[in-house]
Structure formats: C-alpha cells, structure tokens
Amino acid sequence: MFGLFTITKEPKLMTIIRGAIVGVVGIVFIVLGCIDIAKINAKPIDLNETHMDWNQLHNGQHVEMDVNVLIGQYMYTTENGSEVSRDYLMPHMVYDSHNDRYYVDRVIGVKVNKSSGDFDTAEAIVDNTVDFFFHQTEDYEFNTVTIHVDGYLQKLDDDQMKYVKQAMEAAGFTPHDIAAMIVPYYICDNSSSGPVLLGIGIFCLLLGGGVALYGYKKNPL
C-alpha cells in the first residue's frame, strides 16, 4: 500500500493523515460487511405465502420458497465449457375460484446451481408445468416435485432482462403480459461476501491505527 521509506521520510502530520484515511476505509468495509452478514442471517421471507405481494419485493431481500412450478430456462452460465448454473422463470400462481383455474400473476427468476444437484429436478418441474398449462393434465399436483430455494434477490441486469423477455415470448406470453408480469429480480444462493469485507475492514483499521500511531510518535522532520 505504501513503503516504509515513504512514511519514514514524510512529515509527521502527513503520516497521521495517511493512517486516518486507511482507518476510515477499514470502518467502511466493516460496516458493509456487517450489513451483508445481517442481511443473509435475517429471517427469510416465504414467497409461498398465499397473500405475499411480489410487487413489494426489493433488491437484497432474503427469501425462501418451495419451487414447484417453473415455466422454463432463460439462460445458463458455463465455466471452462461446463454448465455451472441455470436460470429459470418461476411464476407466481393465483387460483381463480370463479373459473376454477390457475393463472400466472407475476414471474421472477431463480438460479439453480449444478453443485446443488437439482438440474434434473428443475427440468422435471418444467416438464410437469408444461403438462399442466399446455396439455391440461387434470391430475397434475403442484407439490409432487419441488426444489427448496433459500437465497437473496438480485436485480436483473439489461442482458438478463432481455433473456427473460425472450423466454416469456417463446412461452406464449404477449408483450402486454410480459411488461405487467416481470418482477425485475432473480433469486440466487445465499453466499455472503460479508465475512471477507469484515476481515478486510479489520485489517485496514488496525493498519491505519498503527500508521497513525507511528506518525504521532515520530519526531517532526
């Protein structure tokens, strides 16, 4: 970050200021790390709740649900030529008792990682969903195949939003439906950078304090 020669030869006040700046950076990292850890450790919102309004969701929320309906895949991610994750369209289902049918109210993304071992299960859910909606399989039960998702909401970037719209169009949704239904987030795993940020912050705080103390004790040049 800076050499011993530099802080030895520079004016006393400059060394103190340099240490204070590093310390402030450390405090910022500590605060960000604590916020991230608190976010992940917060009680998740259950998206399976009947009266859950998906329009009230926002970036960074900790959520969970048992996924039993998936419209289809809208993108995938590879590393070294091998798939590591797939992103699916997950609909919010609403039952219309008057017409005795289900309809799609909102759509959100959900990321399924290969490491979870759920690729095959996700594809089975997609097949069941297609059977129910497009082939009208009357004996389909939503809870026969599920994936439990526990993660946080991440805002879709422009490319992801484009893929979501293309996948919904391919599934038969109209442009009006697409604009009205998309919830601009996807659920990703609950891995946290909080501990890393916290560690960096503590290191910077201690380093800055040490540099400032050194500057305070040394004789002015």
Give the per-residue pLDDT at 220.
56
How far is Cα of residue 208 from the mean position of the Cα atoms in its chain? 32
| CA atoms lying within 13 Å on the CB side of residue 192 | 21
Give the per-residue pLDDT at 201.
74
Could you state, in order of their start, the residue ranges of all structural domains in the chain? 4-39+195-217, 44-191
How far is it, in rounded angstroms, from Cα 146 to Cα 168?
Answer: 22
Q: Is the pLDDT of residue 41 over 60?
A: yes
Tell me the per-residue pLDDT of 44-87, one tens digit each, with 9 for 90 and over: 788 888 777 888 898 888 898 889 889 889 999 998 888 999 99
Tokens for 72, please give them.
């289809």
Q: Quote the DSSP letter at residue 91.
A: E
Answer yes or no: pTM beyond 0.85. Answer: no
Nearest to 144 by CA among 122, 128, 120, 131: 128
How far is it, in rounded angstroms, from Cα 6 to Cα 18?
Answer: 11
**Which amino acid, one-letter code, is at 130?**
V
Tell me the per-residue pLDDT of 107-116, one tens digit each, with 9 for 90 and over: 999 999 888 8
Q: Is the pLDDT of residue 102 over 70?
A: yes
